[in-house]
Structure 1
């Protein structure tokens, strides 16, 4: 019960890594808002443990503000929602694809900070966790602008951590390798046994990140056990970045 008595918001909580983080937080005693653009998915995950679903488009300022009005200021905010473009040469990514990736993966962190940081600062406490990617540390060819968006998130995490530390607010990030989630096919280009085997050969531990892996790492970084840790980008990647 490491998170007993705490409230948390997890964006993209209706599936994949987000759902894994939600489940772990709930198991550890947190009251969790499951935030997702797909309200049906959020409701399904929330129904498992008595959490509260909330619809949000993390790239839209009005939608994020509306969410904040419903939830109030949480103890823990997890910026997990993210998307990618399909693997292709950098010059072939359309402007629409580029804008969508940067809006969901980067602008969303700014919008959530605008909505929640003032309240955390006033309270003198808070934990923010940004879900980045190994792609922001060790970029992969043909995912150029996705790589860049996650690199942005890593720098934003460190900048936020330095600025908010005097106010008692910690900011960290997770850098998972690809997981067996709805986004896997988008990273691989095509989800086939051959493509999976090729990708797994780059991971020393020989498997994908799982939602449970992410939940365990997120729980630690957002708990009081990590009270001296801020500005860290924890690689949950089976050794891929070594």
Structure 2
């Protein structure tokens, strides 16, 4: 079965989209077929995967699929091919999605319904949620019911994670679902007293799920600017090993067999 995973943190500026793109690249390197859905109205992942022109295209777009049930069947037509994954881009119209979904009878379920039209073609569907808590994030969390949390190794992350988990708990109650936390990615880790203390806090706060450390590397931003993950940009950068660890752990959690060979060309 296709496995679905959301990347969410209501605090902006944590590198959520960069983490999501590179986890997708790592899964591709392990031979998995990945669909990447950019649910963020800012369209950062859309730009970071080389589809900036799609952000300004005329309807139908992801906005129409989420807000008009008659447009749901057009969801497969939104998919763009990328060297490492397939991509459903965001669109400028997504900035108007929140009020539309608020008025919808099943406002938090629209992405889940849309994914039913395509997901049989993929091993993973990865959803990059907006950096705030609202109906779009609800759609991502409800559709995937699995959560990977990018966070900075700084004290401000504590409050942000408290708000996220309060929201997740409320969503679980509203929809009678269980959202599984699959791991935390501590991003832009630096060797400082605060950074070291926060890594210890992550380990104590999340004893039952993995916590990975991603160090600051210029190559991550350069890969983003080039519209690819590190695996396509420069697979020799040391952080590729960390992202491969994330992908391997996700495969294990979701019950995938270990691939015969993990190469950047193996997947879609």
TM-score normalised over the length of structure 2: 0.46
- Compare relative contact order (CA 8 Å, sep 6+) and give the higher one, 1 or 2: 2
TM-score normalised over the length of structure 1: 0.50
